[in-house]
């Protein structure tokens, strides 16, 4: 299987620090690659002082560590357990320092293994798939405005401008228990599919139609850069993180 992958994370125009983190893990060892596959993660941290950055970094590192060291051959189950492990790690770490109390992070992960994509997700970062020119949001936002959109109270556009758009209803590390989503898993990949993982710094400024047009018209590297530049050019109100994964050959 051949993928083209590009990833970028920028602080934006307003924030002082980048509290987003991402991971792209593609084992160099052929056997490990074949057995465990490739794993990509976007995490958007929150919490005072340095808490947000610590939480998102810890999420990405813990998920990688758990996933690639596990002997469980059920890959999607291992991925899900990896998020629960990350939740524990962040929560435990938050108890060690008063400055880190309540820190947490979103987490959107995709595992690509034997032609399938397995998603695992908590929070309001997103995963999308572009197939045949059609963009589909794979994940459900665990946010107040996400629930309002789903219940029909407000539109996507209202949600992007809503004063409480930052209120997240589920995140890693804030509580000692967590429920993760595993949307559309497994998703059988086809040549030409493009997967996008991103933080809300992108989606709060760039609507789906534009994301779709960019992904459909350029390769992973250029698309990733264009998406980040577009959000940044519109004020870059938040940290912006984008991972683009293009299936070149199955």
Residues found near Ca ion in the complex (CB under 5 A): 44, 199-200, 238
> CB of 107: closest distance to Ca ion in angstroms?
12
Continuous segment of H or E residues that includes residue 68: helix 51-69
Residue 75 dihedral angles phi and psi, to the nearest 5°: -65, -50
**Minimum distance, C-beta of residue 240 to Ca ion, in the bound complex (Å):** 8
Shortest Å distance, C-beta 199 to Ca ion: 5
Question: Rounded to an integer, what distance in angstroms lies between the CA atom of residue 223 and that of residue 239?
Answer: 18
Instruction: Provide DSSP, 71-82.
Output: --S-HHHHHHHH
Taking the least distance from each CB to Ca ion, the nearer of 38 and 165 is: 165
Min dist. Cβ of residue 62 to Ca ion (A): 20
Percentages of the chain per state (helix, strand, coil), in multiples of 5: 35, 30, 35
Q: Which is nearer to Ca ion, 21 or 180 (CB)?
A: 21
Which of 62/199 has CB closer to Ca ion? 199
Nearer to Ca ion, 185 or 199 (CB): 199
Positive or negative: CA dihedral 33, 35, 40, 44: negative
């Amino acid at each position: 299987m051949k993928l083209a992958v590009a990833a970028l994370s920028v602080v934006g125009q307003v924030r002082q620090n980048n509290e987003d983190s991402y991971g792209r893990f593609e084992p160099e060892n052929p056997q490990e690659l074949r057995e465990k596959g490739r794993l990509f993660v976007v995490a958007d941290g929150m919490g005072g002082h340095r808490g947000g950055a610590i939480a998102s970094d810890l999420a990405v590192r813990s998920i990688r560590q758990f996933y690639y060291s596990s002997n469980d051959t059920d890959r999607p189950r291992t991925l899900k357990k990896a998020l629960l492990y990350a939740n524990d790690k962040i929560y435990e770490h938050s108890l060690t320092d008063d400055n880190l109390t309540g820190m947490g992070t979103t987490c959107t992960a995709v595992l690509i293994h034997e032609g399938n994509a397995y998603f695992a997700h908590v929070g309001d970062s997103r995963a999308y798939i572009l197939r045949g020119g059609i963009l589909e949001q794979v994940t459900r936002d665990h946010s107040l405005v996400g629930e309002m959109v789903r219940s029909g109270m407000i539109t996507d556009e209202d949600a992007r401008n809503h004063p409480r758009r930052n209120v997240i209803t589920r995140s890693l590390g804030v509580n000692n228990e967590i429920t993760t989503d595993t949307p559309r898993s497994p998703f059988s990949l086809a040549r030409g599919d493009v997967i996008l993982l991103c933080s809300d710094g992108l989606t709060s400024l760039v609507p789906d139609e534009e994301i779709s047009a960019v992904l459909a018209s350029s390769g992973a590297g250029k698309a990733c850069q264009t998406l980040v530049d577009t959000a940044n050019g519109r004020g870059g109100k938040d940290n912006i993180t984008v991972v683009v994964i293009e299936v070149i050959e199955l």
